[in-house]
Structure 1
Amino acid sequence: MQSLKSSGGFFAVAVAAVTLAGSLPARAEYPEKPVEMTVLFGGTANTTAQLLSELMSRELGSPVVPVARTGGGGAIGYAHVQSTRPDGYNIVWNSNSINTTYHLGNLPFNYEEFAPIAQVSVEVPVLAVNASSGWKTLEEMAQAVKEGGKTINVGISGKGSFTHLTSAALFDAMGIADQVNYVSYGDGKAPVELLAGRIDAAIQWPGQFLSYVQSGDLTVLGSTGAEPVSVLPDVKTAKSQGYDVDISMWRGLAAPKGTPDEVIAKLEAAAKAAAESEEFVAASKNIGFEPAFKSRAEFGEIIARDDKFYAELLGELGMTK
Structure 2
Amino acid sequence: MLTRWIVGAWLAACALASFAQEAPFPQRGPIELTVLFPAGSSADITARLLADGIARQLSATVVVVNRPGAGGAVGYRHVAGQKPDGYTLVWNSNSISTTYHSGQLPFDYHAFDPVARVLVESPVLAVRGDARWKTLADFLADAKAHPNQLTVGNSGLGSHTHISSVALFKMAGVGVVDVPYPAAQVMPSLLGGHIDAVMQLPAALATLVKSGQVRVLAALVERRDPALPDVPTAREQGVDVALDAWRGIAVPRGTPPQVVFALQMAIRRTVESPEFAAACERLGVHPAYLSATEFGELIAKEDVQLAGLMQVIGLKK
Q: In structure 2, give the amino acid aligned to 1:60.
A: L
Q: In structure 1, give the amino acid aligned to 2:98.
A: T
Contact map agreement 1:74 1:98 (CA 8 A) in 2: yes
Deviates more, 1:52-61 or 1:153-162: 153-162
- Residues in 2 aligned to 1:183 and 1:153: alpha-carbon distance in whole angstroms: 7
- Residues in 2 aligned to 1:76 and 1:159: alpha-carbon distance in whole angstroms: 13
Deviates more, 1:149-158 or 1:224-233: 149-158
Instruction: For 1:167-178, list aligned pairs within 5 A.
Output: 167-176=165-174, 178=175
- Residues in 1 aligned to 2:80 and 2:139: alpha-carbon distance in whole angstroms: 43
Q: C-alpha offsets along residues 27-76 of structure 1, whole Å, 9 cap, x if unaligned?
A: 54221112211111130111111111111011112112211121121111
Instruction: For 1:162-241, list aligned pairs within 5 A.
Output: 162-176=160-174, 178=175, 180-241=176-237
Runs of 4 or more, structure 1, over 4 Å off, are none
1:55 maps to 53
1:32 maps to 27
Deviation at 1:251, TM superposition (A): 0.4
Deviation at 1:87, TM superposition (A): 1.3
Instruction: For 1:254-273, list aligned pairs within 5 A.
Output: 254-273=250-269
Deviates more, 1:143-152 or 1:92-101: 143-152
- Residues in 2 aligned to 1:128 and 1:170: alpha-carbon distance in whole angstroms: 13
Contact map agreement 1:191 1:212 (CA 8 A) in 2: no
Q: In structure 2, give the amino acid aligned to 1:233.
A: P
2:81 maps to 83
1:128 maps to 126
- Residues in 2 aligned to 1:310 and 1:208: alpha-carbon distance in whole angstroms: 23
Name the TM-score, length of structure 1 as normaliser. Answer: 0.89
Query: SS of the counterpart of 1:282?
Result: helix
- Residues in 1 aligned to 2:87 and 2:11: alpha-carbon distance in whole angstroms: 32
Deviates more, 1:62-71 or 1:237-246: 62-71
Q: Classify 1:37/1:144 alpha carbon distance in 2 versus 1 (closer, same or farther; 3 Å).
A: same
Matched, 1:92 2:106: no
Q: In structure 2, give the amino acid aligned to 1:31.
A: P
Query: SS of the counterpart of 2:205?
Result: helix
Contact map agreement 1:130 1:219 (CA 8 A) in 2: yes
Matched, 1:312 2:280: no
Deviation at 1:212, TM superposition (A): 2.4
Deviation at 1:147, TM superposition (A): 3.0
Deviates more, 1:298-307 or 1:29-38: 29-38
Contact map agreement 1:37 1:67 (CA 8 A) in 2: yes
Q: C-alpha offsets along residues 233-280 of structure 1, whole Å, 9 cap, x if unaligned?
A: 111111121111010111001111111111111010001011111111
Deviation at 1:230, TM superposition (A): 2.3
Query: SS of the counterpart of 1:250?
Result: strand
Larger Rg: 1
Q: In structure 2, give the amino acid aligned to 1:119.
A: R
Query: SS of the counterpart of 1:301?
Result: helix
- Residues in 1 aligned to 2:148 and 2:113: alpha-carbon distance in whole angstroms: 47
Q: Give the aligned CA root-mean-square deviation in angstroms.
A: 2.4
1:3 maps to none
- Residues in 2 aligned to 1:141 and 1:277: alpha-carbon distance in whole angstroms: 40
- Residues in 1 aligned to 2:280 and 2:81: alpha-carbon distance in whole angstroms: 32
Q: In structure 1, give the amino acid aligned to 2:25.
A: Y
Unaligned runs of 5+ in 1: 1-5
Query: SS of the counterpart of 1:116?
Result: strand
1:110 to 108, 111, 116: 108
- Residues in 2 aligned to 1:150 and 1:222: alpha-carbon distance in whole angstroms: 20
Q: Classify 1:150/1:10 alpha carbon distance in 2 versus 1 (closer, same or farther; 3 Å).
A: closer
- Residues in 2 aligned to 1:320 and 1:18: alpha-carbon distance in whole angstroms: 53
2:246 to 243, 247, 250: 250
Contact map agreement 1:155 1:203 (CA 8 A) in 2: yes
Q: In structure 2, give the amino acid aligned to 1:250.
A: W
Q: What fraction of aligned residue pairs are identical, expressed as a percent?
A: 44
Contact map agreement 1:38 1:67 (CA 8 A) in 2: yes
- Residues in 1 aligned to 2:61 and 2:4: alpha-carbon distance in whole angstroms: 46
- Residues in 1 aligned to 2:109 and 2:124: alpha-carbon distance in whole angstroms: 26
